[in-house]
Amino acid sequence: MIALDEQQQAARTWFEALRTRICTAFEAIEREAGSDAVFDYTPWPRTDPSGEDGGGGVRGVMKGRVFEKVGVNVSTVGGRFEGEFARSIHGAGDDPRFFATGISLVAHMANPHVPAVHMNTRFLVTTKRWFGGGADLNPPLPDADDSADFHAAFAAACDAHAPIADYPRFRQWAEEYFFIPHRGVQRGVGGIFYDHLEAEGAAFDPAFAFTRDVGEAFLAVYPQIVRRRMGLPFTAEEERRMLAWRGRYAEFNLVYDRGTTFGLKTGGNVEAILMSLPPRAIWE
């Protein structure tokens, strides 16, 4: 395993603990729906292009009655970026060595009244150190209460860590990032997105504290939204709308998503990287 310093180990430990708590919460929802679905965990190793140990991760996927497909992945990788890709990464233009650890989650739901969701947070080290991530809600059938509660949870997380966490700016950043240019539409109803949140020296502790609270906010609000929507009846037309919406979600992740690009460019596990794709979708 690649050697970690104290900050890198602390971040890795947190992301893995958050993964366990989220998966436990999602499995509890499946129990409430009368399902015995559980997460299937698949470890994967990574070899750096240099031939050295490049770390790895664990892909976790569950297919159940409420969660048609949900993936919760953690990874800790390091080595050297190859070629020109290094110049696209903050702090790696002159030195391609890097370290990255994080959690990534995407849930596609069986009931179109239950919004799909994405969440990820990460810690990266090049010649600089920073945190990034966020979460966004992706309802096929938007509901004002769900959207309001989701945004309120992340607004509170940001407000507790002002001034380094600026909710209006992070919300606007999400609206700009989670946009499908060729469709001219938002991917969902937004949330927050942040990147390059400085974690050098004394800046590490406050940046890490905020990143932990992003995870806590997600864990507090999303299961609540799922529980109040998962039992609602839906029509065949509402399911069709969900499947068409999923097609656009897939388009974004394959064409524009930075996380997909980062994973593929750094030799990550393809199945783990593409776990964000829905199990079913249609294009009309």
Residues annotated as catalytic are 118
For residue 185, the cross-strand partners are: 180
Rounded to a whole number, what is the distance in angstroms from the first to the last CA of the chain? 46
Mean pLDDT value across residues 234-258: 94
pLDDT digits (tens, 9 = 90+) for 119-145: 999 999 999 999 999 999 999 999 999
Express each pLDDT in 57-70 by its tens digit: 999 999 999 999 99
Determine the Cα–Cα distance for residues 259 and 133; give it in Å rounded to an integer.
10
For tokens 């030799």, name the residue.
Answer: 267
Whether pLDDT at 266 is above 90: no
Q: How deeply is 251 buried, as exposed, middle or buried, from its count of CB atoms within 10 A (0-12, 13-18, 19+)?
A: middle
Give the C-alpha separation, 253 to 272, whole Å.
Answer: 13
Q: Which of 245, 123, 246 is nearest to 195 (CA)?
A: 123
pLDDT recorded at residue 61? 97
CB 127 within 8 A of CB 93: no
222 band by pLDDT with thresholds 50, 70 and 90:
very high
Which residues, in sequence order, are CB contacts of 255 under 8 Å at separation 6+?
Answer: 182
| pLDDT tens per residue, range 95-117 | 888 999 999 999 999 999 999 99
Parallel, antiparallel, or unpaired: how do β-strands 67-80 and 129-138 relate? Answer: unpaired
Token pair, residue 192, equals 């927050």
**CATH code for the part of the protein at 6-276:** 3.40.1500.10
CA distance 137 to 145: 12
User: Cα–Cα distance between 64 and 92 in angstroms, integer?
Assistant: 41
Tell me: pLDDT of 170 over 90.
yes
Question: Using alpha carbons only, how large is the chain's radius of gyration in Å?
Answer: 18
User: What pLDDT, on a 0 to 100 scale, did the predictor assign at position 264?
Assistant: 82
Beta-bridge mates of residue 192: 135
pLDDT band at 85 (very low <50, low <70, confident <90, very high): confident
Domain chopping of the chain, boundaries: 6-276
Q: Mean per-residue pLDDT for 172-185?
A: 94
- 8 Å CB contact between 121 and 86: no
Given pLDDT bands bounded at 50, 70 and 90, which one contains residue 1?
low
Nearest Cα residue to 281 out of 250, 258, 260, 257: 250
Q: Assign 254 a pLDDT band (cuts: 50, 70, 90).
A: very high
How would residue 159 be classed by pLDDT, with cut points 50, 70 and 90? very high
Is the pLDDT reported for residue 92 higher than 80?
Answer: no
* % of the chain residues with pLDDT over 90: 81
Q: What confidence score (pLDDT) does residue 211 get?
A: 98
pLDDT digits (tens, 9 = 90+) for 183-219: 999 999 999 999 999 999 999 999 999 999 999 999 9
Q: In Å, what is the CA distance from 12 to each residue of 4, 42, 76?
A: 9, 18, 7
Residue 196 CA to residue 89 CA, distance in Å, equals 10
Q: Kindly compute the dihedral angle of the four CA atoms of residues 175, 104, 117, 236, in this order, to the nearest 10 degrees.
A: 120
* CA–CA distance, 192 with 176 (Å, rounded to integer): 10
Q: What is the pTM of this model?
A: 0.93
